[in-house]
């Protein structure tokens, strides 16, 4: 760890890298099914708030609380996904952005809503402070450990790896290619899309729970449109052509600004430029097997050039 | 067809819907007290506020509608151009002592140029590759992130505003609220000359755009490109040129909206754009993606949601209501209030 710390990757950053890898995988699942959903920031917020409230206000142990946050995100995803997934590309994107904002606003005003309900029902007891408005919940002890995350990432990665060759994965791939053709092949499009959406939401909830117990403080402001874009950036950087792409993307894009510490204030700029470059010139992302093949080819060409003084192509 | 030739029937229908919605907004102002059993102050005032904030929203959202109707893509960096337009206006006054009158054309020019730059960087490479629409959405997000963080680096994150001393120099004491009473109708509202100017400028620009698209040769070329790019090429219309023109116009609208916004609200930060982005998306979805008239109607509607939510004492609902409306309209009428049904698209 000495070397990593020397380039700016301290324990906190490494843990954060794995959290973001989980978030990147969560959006990968919907993208793999051809659904452009940005809802994951909202599910992350739900997972985060539910798990933190459980550990802080109700003295739940860490792991059950995290799992509860994950389940809560999944449960909320079901009624959201059923109507929303009927929409396609741009319309789906706008609707899910709307969902993220509604989630953020509801969390922001949750105490006021509870208050309103109490007055309407003429309850005499003092309404509880749950989400604490814009200030958020502070002083959360750090309970997320790197081991938890590594185990979670390995389990999820195994799931992803197996998914590609499973009935579920193939159905999603077919839906991505053409929904109508997939339906005509007897694939239950609505079912598979919703399952992918709910599973993605659960992963986002898991990531949110971990991040909530890592950053000591959670505020509704940190789960908005910007976070949705960040999550998207991880998986675009990693590419959706392979199961390890999003993991790579999440790790790399979190580490990048830390390694380039003098450029810390340029984080947003770097994220944006990375998005632009990758989407325009490397649409397969970091995890694209074709990219690695061509990289190997050019590497061998360079080494040939150095040792033999001529290019491999010219020699052949 | 986004900017389709208007058949009389559809025109009639869209006028009908618009009229219904506007009358509804007006009536609601008077009916709210009865419905809620709460005292609501001065209904005319709310209608006035709806109109002037709505005009800024509409102007801003028109840029989305324009780009969507010609290129069929959603330019999510539009909000960042809007924010830059606001900064160009405010900063040219603060740093270079340029009179406020000139900030509007300056910001429109600047916004237009930024729009063209966004096209060159984020859209043109993808068009060449024939990338799916989603990729263009992502790259416009990237462009937006770049523009926002550039603004953050250049201007910092503390809110900026037009200096009060400069605003005071405007004629007619523009920032001072006047009471207007129309006795015969029993109307009574306050509005500042500046707000009147905002309404006039916004609607003038919107009519100009509508005229340009619907009545001029250039507008016809734009509609041909929207209809079919290959056909446009065969007719020796410069498709790339039309795209750049579209982005320039959209950027100029964003720039103008940015200045008007900065004149209306004394707080401009690099993140102002993000807040407006979501409102703007709601506006165009409500009105119908790619429809110019729809954008105007949507802007008024979103403003109405906000104003009435505040008026009835639930200011926290103010931000949520437009999104709830967005959600519902996407689920039940994805083509928007004024849009034509197009089964394939949604």
**pLDDT 10s digits, A245-256:** 888 888 888 887
| B12 — pLDDT class (breaks 50, 70, 90) | low
What is the mean predicted confidence (pLDDT) over A273-289?
Answer: 77
On whether the CB atoms of residues B224 and B238 are closer than 8 A, the answer is: no
**pLDDT of A148-207, one tens digit each?**
888 999 999 998 888 888 999 899 989 988 888 988 988 899 999 999 999 999 999 999
What is the mean predicted confidence (pLDDT) over B267-287?
Answer: 84
% of chain B exceeding 70 in pLDDT? 83
Q: Which residue has the higher pLDDT, B142 or B172?
A: B142
Distance from CA of A94 to the nearest CA of B (A): 7
How many Cβ pairs closer than 8 A exist between chain A and B?
A: 133
Contacts 24+ apart (CB under 8 A), B306-312: B306/B53, B307/B46, B307/B49, B307/B50, B307/B53, B308/B28, B308/B29, B308/B32, B308/B46, B311/B32, B311/B40, B311/B41, B311/B46, B312/B32, B312/B36, B312/B38, B312/B40
Q: For position A314, what pLDDT does the model report?
A: 46
List Cα–Cα distances, A96 to A87, A229, B127, B151, in angstroms.
Answer: 10, 12, 25, 27
Chain B partners of A109 at a C-beta cutoff of 8 Å? 316, 320
| B36 — pLDDT class (breaks 50, 70, 90) | low
User: Is the Cβ pair A105, B320 closer than 8 Å?
Assistant: yes
Q: For position B82, what pLDDT does the model report?
A: 93
Polymer length of chain B = 346
Of A109, A273, A276, the CB nearest to B316: A109
Asked if B125 is an interface residue toward chain A (Cβ–Cβ < 8 A), one would say: yes
**pLDDT of A108-149, one tens digit each?**
888 888 887 888 787 777 777 777 777 778 878 888 788 888
On whether the CB atoms of residues A209 and A64 are closer than 8 A, the answer is: no
Lowest mean pLDDT: which of A25-34, B179-188, B240-249, B302-311?
A: B179-188
Asked if B274 is an interface residue toward chain A (Cβ–Cβ < 8 A), one would say: yes
What is the mean predicted confidence (pLDDT) over A28-48?
Answer: 90
Q: For position B344, what pLDDT does the model report?
A: 43
Of A97, A226, A276, the CB nearest to B122: A276
* Average pLDDT in chain B: 80
Question: Is residue B61 scored above 80 in pLDDT?
Answer: yes
| DSSP designation for A309 | S
Q: Which residue has the higher pLDDT, B134 or B125?
A: B125
Q: Which residue has the higher pLDDT, A89 or B106?
A: B106
User: Is the Cβ pair B316, A266 closer than 8 Å?
Assistant: no
CATH number of A2-285: 1.10.3470
Distance from CA of B253 to the nearest CA of A (A): 22
Q: For position A223, what pLDDT does the model report?
A: 85
pTM of this structure: 0.83
Q: For position A315, what pLDDT does the model report?
A: 43
Lowest mean pLDDT: which of A147-161, B184-198, B277-291?
A: B184-198
ipTM of model: 0.79
Of A91, A105, A113, the CB nearest to B346: A91
Of A89, A102, A273, the CB nearest to B320: A102
Q: Which residue has the higher pLDDT, B256 or B342?
A: B256
User: Is the Cβ pair A229, B326 closer than 8 Å?
Assistant: no
**Domain extents in chain B:** 8-332
What is the mean predicted confidence (pLDDT) over A35-44?
Answer: 90
Give the residue on A whose Cα is nearest the Cα of B276: A225
Question: Is residue B307 scored above 80 in pLDDT?
Answer: yes
Q: For position B9, what pLDDT does the model report?
A: 57
Rounded CA separation A65/A59 (Å): 9
Rounded CA separation A130/A58 (Å): 11
What is the mean predicted confidence (pLDDT) over A87-104?
Answer: 86
Q: For position A110, what pLDDT does the model report?
A: 85
| B343 — pLDDT class (breaks 50, 70, 90) | very low
**Domain extents in chain A:** 2-285, 288-316
What is the mean predicted confidence (pLDDT) over A67-86?
Answer: 91
Distance from CA of B28 to the nearest CA of A (A): 23
How open is the CA angle A52-A56-A62, to the nearest 5 degrees?
65
Torsion of CA A16, A18, A22, A28, to 10 degrees: 110
Question: Is residue A311 scored above 60 in pLDDT?
Answer: no
Question: Is residue B341 scored above 60 in pLDDT?
Answer: no
Chain A partners of B327 at a C-beta cutoff of 8 Å? 84, 95, 98-99, 102
Contacts of B129 (CB under 8 A, 6+ apart): A280, A283
Distance from CA of A255 to the nearest CA of B (A): 18
Question: Is residue B104 scored above 80 in pLDDT?
Answer: yes
Question: Is residue B186 scored above 70 in pLDDT?
Answer: no
Q: For position B345, what pLDDT does the model report?
A: 41
**pLDDT of B215-256, one tens digit each?**
888 888 888 888 888 888 888 888 888 889 989 999 999 999
* Average pLDDT in chain A: 83
Of A105, A233, A268, the CB nearest to B152: A268
% of chain A exceeding 70 in pLDDT? 92
Please name the fold of domain B8-332. ABC transporter involved in vitamin B12 uptake, BtuC (1.10.3470)
User: Is the Cβ pair B141, A229 closer than 8 Å?
Assistant: yes
Question: Is residue A313 scored above 60 in pLDDT?
Answer: no
Question: Is residue A83 scored above 60 in pLDDT?
Answer: yes
- Please state the φ and ψ torsions of residue B91, each to the nearest 5 degrees: -70, -30
What interhelical angle do B239-264 and B100-118 show, nearest 10? 140
Give the residue on A whose Cα is nearest the Cα of B131: A280
Element (H, E) at A117: helix A110-120
Give the residue on B whose Cα is nearest the Cα of A81: B331
């Amino acid at each position: 760890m000495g070397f990593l710390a020397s380039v700016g990757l301290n324990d906190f950053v490494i843990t954060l890298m794995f959290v973001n890898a989980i978030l990147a995988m969560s959006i990968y699942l919907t993208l793999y099914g051809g659904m452009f959903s940005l809802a994951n920031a909202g599910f992350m917020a739900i997972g985060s708030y539910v798990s933190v409230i459980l550990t802080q206000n109700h003295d739940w142990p860490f792991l059950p609380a995290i799992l509860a946050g994950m389940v809560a995100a999944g449960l909320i995803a079901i009624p959201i996904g059923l109507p929303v997934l009927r929409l396609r590309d741009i319309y789906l994107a706008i609707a899910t952005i709307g969902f993220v904002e509604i989630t953020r606003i509801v969390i922001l005003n949750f105490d006021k809503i509870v208050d309103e309900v109490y007055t309407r029902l003429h309850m005499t007891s003092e309404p509880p402070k749950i989400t604490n408005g814009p200030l958020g919940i502070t002083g959360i002890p750090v309970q997320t450990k790197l081991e938890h995350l590594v185990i979670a990432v390995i389990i999820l990665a195994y799931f992803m790896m197996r998914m590609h060759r499973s009935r579920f994965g193939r159905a999603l791939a077919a839906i991505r290619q053409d929904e109508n053709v997939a339906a005509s092949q007897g694939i239950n499009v609505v079912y598979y899309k919703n399952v992918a959406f709910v599973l993605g939401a659960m992963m986002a909830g898991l990531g949110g729970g971990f991040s909530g117990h890592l950053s000591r403080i959670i505020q509704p402001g940190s789960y908005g449109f910007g976070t949705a874009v960040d999550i998207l950036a991880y998986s675009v950087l990693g590419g959706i052509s392979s199961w390890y792409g999003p993991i790579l993307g999440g790790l790399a894009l979190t580490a990048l600004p830390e390694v380039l510490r003098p450029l810390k204030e340029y984080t947003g700029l770097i994220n944006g430029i990375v998005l632009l470059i990758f989407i325009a010139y490397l649409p397969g992302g970091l995890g694209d097997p074709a990219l690695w093949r061509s990289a190997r080819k050019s590497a061998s060409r360079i080494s040939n050039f150095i040792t033999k003084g001529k290019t491999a192509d010219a020699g052949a | 067809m986004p900017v389709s030739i208007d058949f009389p029937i559809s025109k009639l229908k869209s006028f009908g819907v618009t009229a219904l919605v506007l009358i509804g907004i007006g009536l609601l102002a008077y009916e709210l007290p009865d419905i809620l059993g709460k005292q609501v102050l001065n209904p005319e005032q709310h209608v006035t506020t709806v109109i002037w904030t709505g005009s800024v929203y509409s102007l801003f959202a028109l840029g989305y509608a324009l780009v969507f109707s010609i290129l069929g893509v959603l330019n999510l960096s539009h909000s960042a151009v809007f924010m830059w337009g606001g900064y160009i206006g405010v900063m040219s006054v603060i740093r270079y002592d340029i009179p406020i009158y000139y900030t509007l054309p300056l910001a429109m020019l600047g916004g237009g140029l930024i729009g063209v730059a966004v096209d060159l960087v984020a859209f043109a490479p993808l068009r060449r590759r024939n990338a799916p629409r989603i990729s263009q959405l992502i790259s416009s997000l990237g462009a937006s992130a770049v523009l926002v963080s550039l603004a953050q680096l250049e201007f910092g994150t503390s809110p900026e505003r037009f200096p009060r001393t400069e605003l005071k120099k405007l004629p007619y004491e523009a920032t001072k609220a006047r009471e207007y009473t129309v006795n015969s109708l029993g109307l009574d509202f306050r509005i500042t000359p500046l707000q009147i100017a905002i309404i006039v400028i916004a609607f003038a620009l919107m009519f100009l755009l509508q005229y340009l698209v619907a009545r001029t040769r250039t507008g016809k070329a734009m509609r041909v490109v929207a209809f079919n790019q290959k056909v446009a090429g065969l007719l020796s219309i410069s498709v790339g040129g039309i795209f750049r023109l579209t982005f320039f116009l959209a950027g100029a609208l964003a720039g103008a909206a940015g200045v008007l916004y900065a004149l209306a609200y004394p707080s401009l930060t690099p993140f102002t754009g993000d807040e407006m982005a979501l409102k703007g998306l709601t506006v165009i979805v409500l009105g119908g993606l790619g429809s110019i008239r729809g954008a105007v109607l949507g802007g008024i509607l979103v403003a109405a949601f906000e104003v009435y939510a505040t008026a009835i004492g639930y200011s926290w609902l103010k931000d949520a209501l437009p999104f709830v409306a967005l959600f519902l309209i996407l689920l039940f009428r994805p083509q928007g209030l004024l849009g034509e049904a197009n089964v394939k698209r949604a």
